[in-house]
A and B are shown apart, each in its own frame.
Chain A
Amino acid sequence: MASKDVLLKVDNLTTTFQTDEDSITVLDDVTFDLHHGESLGIVGESGCGKSVTALSIMRLLPKPAGQVVKGTVTYNDENLLSLSREKMYTIRGKKIAMIFQEPMTALNPVHRIGKQLGEIYQIHFPEMSEAESHAAQIDILEKVGIPSPEKRLREYPHQLSGGMRQRVMIAMALSCKPDILIADEPTTALDVTTQNQILNLMRELQQEINMSIIFITHDLGVIAEMCDRVIVMYAGRIVEQAPVKDLFSTPHHPYTKGLLESIPRLETPPKSRLEIIEGLVPNLKNIPEGCRFRSRCDFEVEDCSKTDPKGEPIGDESHRTVACIRWQELSS
């Protein structure tokens, strides 16, 4: 780990979504730290709350349905969730930037790349002249590996390929040299060779401007390559938190184990049986009592339905937590 100092602190974050009938708790008591210069991975299946975590931090939840009902997000000794809108504008995009899975929906289709990129400088650096802004735009596009940036600035998003669009998104996110980059499935829509290019680019840029990254993905391969530490989420909860090497070598939570065993790997023999996690993710509308994973867990005992496991720290490793009442006996 690069350093121990905490850059962003998320405490007991709880987010609900209002539907016609009732309110659904999609994030429940999520607590974690992000350190200076580290890459933190958040992994989990669809609906586990990984994107909602990002949106809650950024205060970009769809209004009025989504609401943070509990918890704090501390950045620079300030709780982001209680800042004024004006104050938040100076942080969102400038200090904490975000890139999304599908750049085609995140970029505005009717504006040229130059206009969209220029807007960022306009908002965050109003003192910049037009010429300076133009030079900065070309500079940042070059940095993310876009050939002939001058020409690209005059093009529209649809004229670029998927990989190029994602590079533009990264350029926009990095134009203010943020402290934190939240990347929500940044390579999921891309082909493997393009994904490889984008991941390399992100690694290089991270070192160059020394930012912290929260990397949200469902791909354990990407996690293994990109992250220092990993959070595993299941049905709105953090079930395990660990340094990446420990998570892959000694997973403690049965869900983490199941996930790791169920992926087809290049070295598994063809047509062998894959380990599977039976059943489905529980419906967040009626979350079962006790442990949320127990209905799919091979190690369920009676107590699992009675106690709601909280992420307990393991030993003196403050960076490792697991939310399972049986983890100790299962790991021995």
Chain B
Amino acid sequence: MSKDVLLRVKDLKMHYPIRGGVLFRQVATNFAVDGISFEINRGETLGIVGESGCGKSTVAKAILRLYEPTSGEVEFDGRDIINMPKGDLREIRKEMQIIFQDPMESLNSRHTVGTILEEPYVIHGIGSRADRRKWVVDLLDKVGLQSDAVDRFPHEFSGGQRQRIGIARAIALNPKLLICDEPVSALDVSIQSQILNLLVDLQRELDLTLLFIAHDLAVVKHVSDRIAVMYLGKIVEMNEAEKLYSHPVHPYTRALLSSIPVPDPEKKKVHDVLTGEVPSPINPPAGCHFHARCPYAEEKCSKDRPELKPVKDNPNWLVSCHLMDNFIN
């Protein structure tokens, strides 16, 4: 592998015990993330798409150790995150930051924007008061807000502006990795495009590496170099962004792509309607997780779990499907 890898995730698992009964014993397990591996190179954007409950946000939080993963390895910039003592984690979190879907929930409503943006510097003891004030204004400028925002409170801003504040806070300490968890799904269309442009600009300007999580395939495709498609705690397909859309292989990827309503009335197309619903990660089906909804499923699909394997020896193109040879053309 090339030495450009910034983040390496190997066989990451996040299982939640489900307790019940009188003695509060573990009665079942929620396999939220069940063995995920990927790498992100420096300066690259990896997109993760999937429907609600597929585990995409859990992956983000486990990487940052906001959740303690059940097992697996996470290596960031050559350092082992999983076994790192808590004290060192604070240092490393300077370099890996996250922005969330709803900035209203992640910004303290009782603090002014100035205080919110200054906090990262205060926590890490960087700069004098005057320095910090100056940096805050620089940050606001970088994300396209006026400097008078400093003395205002989060509720005085619109959703898009609040997301800008969230981004400003995340980039305050010059992180190497920025994890974006559904950053635009709460925003209106015209505002969504403003934020997407901002993220792409900042990535170039600050040399950021992005892990971009969303359920909207068009949005993910717009910002990503490579994309991983998740279904029920596992990656089912991973490829370069363009190729994933032009040559989807896994039946789930294909169903997802064909489900998107296209904003073009001339292209009324026939959808492959996927029947059924995403099964629960508490009792994932045996064999391939997707087999119950898959129009092509054969007997072996309900028995053996397929592995994520390279297609045509291309290490960037991975698919987990027993029948994938039928779908590659």
Q: Which of A244-303 contact B (CB under 8 A)?
A: 244-245, 248-249, 258-260, 262-266, 268, 270-278, 280
Nearest CB to that of B186 among chain A residues?
A46
Q: How many residues of A contact B (CB 8 A)?
A: 45
Q: Is the CB of B264 within 8 A of A258?
A: no
Report B-chain residues with C-beta under 8 Å of the C-beta of A249: 266
Q: Is the CB of A274 within 8 A of B193?
A: yes
Report B-chain residues with C-beta under 8 Å of the C-beta of A197: 273-275
Q: Is the CB of B193 within 8 A of A262?
A: yes
Known: A191-B51, A196-B273, A274-B197. A220 touches B223 (CB 8 A): no
Task: Name the contact of A270 in the complex, choosing from B52, B223, B271 (C-beta under 8 A).
Answer: B223
Q: Which of A215-244 contact B (CB under 8 A)?
A: 218-225, 244
Known: A221-B261, A270-B225, A280-B158. A248 touches B266 (CB 8 A): yes
Q: Does B217 contact A (CB under 8 A)?
A: yes
Report B-chain residues with C-beta under 8 Å of the C-beta of A224: 261-265, 267
Q: Is the CB of B222 within 8 A of A244?
A: no
Report B-chain residues with C-beta under 8 Å of the C-beta of A248: 263-266
Nearest CB to that of B219 among chain A residues?
A264
Chain B interface size, as a band, is: 35 or more
Q: Is the CB of A45 within 8 A of B261?
A: no
Q: Which of A114-131 contact B (CB under 8 A)?
A: none
CA distance A133 to B170 in the complex (A): 57
Q: Is the CB of B193 within 8 A of A275?
A: yes
Known: A191-B215, A276-B197. A262 touches B190 (CB 8 A): yes
Known: A196-B274, A197-B274, A248-B266. A222 touches B261 (CB 8 A): yes
Report A-chain residues with C-beta under 8 Å of the C-beta of B197: 273-274, 276
Q: Is the interface of B mostly helix, strand, loop or mixed?
A: helix
Known: A224-B262, A248-B264, A274-B196. A193 touches B256 (CB 8 A): yes
Q: Does A192 contact B (CB under 8 A)?
A: yes
Q: Is the CB of B223 within 8 A of A263?
A: no
Q: Is the CB of B218 within 8 A of A280?
A: no
Q: Is the CB of B268 within 8 A of A264?
A: no
Q: Does A207 contact B (CB under 8 A)?
A: no
Q: Does A163 contact B (CB under 8 A)?
A: yes
CA distance A10 to B18 in the complex (A): 53
Nearest CB to that of A247 among chain B residues?
B265
Q: Does B200 contact A (CB under 8 A)?
A: yes
Q: Binary interface profile of B, 161-175, with partner A (CB < 8 Å = 1, else 0)?
A: 100000000000000
How many Å from the CB of B262 to the closest CB on chain A?
A: 6
Report A-chain residues with C-beta under 8 Å of the C-beta of B257: 266
CA distance A235 to B124 in the complex (A): 44
How many Å from the CB of A167 to the closest CB on chain B?
A: 11
Q: Does B160 contact A (CB under 8 A)?
A: yes
Nearest CB to that of A277 among chain B residues?
B190
Nearest CB to that of A269 among chain B residues?
B242
Q: Does A61 contact B (CB under 8 A)?
A: no
Nearest CB to that of B184 among chain A residues?
A264
Q: Does A199 contact B (CB under 8 A)?
A: yes
Q: Binary interface profile of A, 192-218, with partner B (CB < 8 Å = 1, else 0)?
A: 111111011000000000000000001
CA distance A244 to B268 in the complex (A): 12
Q: Is the CB of A45 within 8 A of B271?
A: no
Q: Which of A175-202 contact B (CB under 8 A)?
A: 191-197, 199-200
Q: Is the CB of B189 within 8 A of A45?
A: yes
Q: Binary interface profile of B, 141-182, with partner A (CB < 8 Å = 1, else 0)?
A: 000000000000000001011000000000000000000000
Q: Is the CB of B189 within 8 A of A193?
A: no
Task: Name the contact of B189 in the complex, choosing from A161, A195, A199, A263 (C-beta under 8 A).
Answer: A263
Contacts A/B (CB < 8 Å), 24 sampled: A191-B215, A192-B215, A193-B255, A195-B259, A195-B261, A197-B273, A197-B275, A200-B271, A220-B189, A221-B263, A224-B265, A225-B265, A248-B266, A263-B193, A264-B219, A266-B217, A266-B257, A270-B241, A273-B200, A274-B196, A276-B190, A277-B193, A278-B194, A280-B191
Further 16 A-B residue pairs, CB within 8 A, beyond A46-B188, A193-B51: A45-B191, A164-B277, A192-B215, A193-B259, A195-B259, A195-B261, A196-B273, A199-B261, A221-B260, A224-B264, A224-B267, A249-B266, A262-B189, A265-B263, A266-B218, A266-B262
> What residues make up the interface of A, taking CB atoms closer than 8 Å to B?
45-46, 161, 163-164, 191-197, 199-200, 218-225, 244-245, 248-249, 258-260, 262-266, 268, 270-278, 280
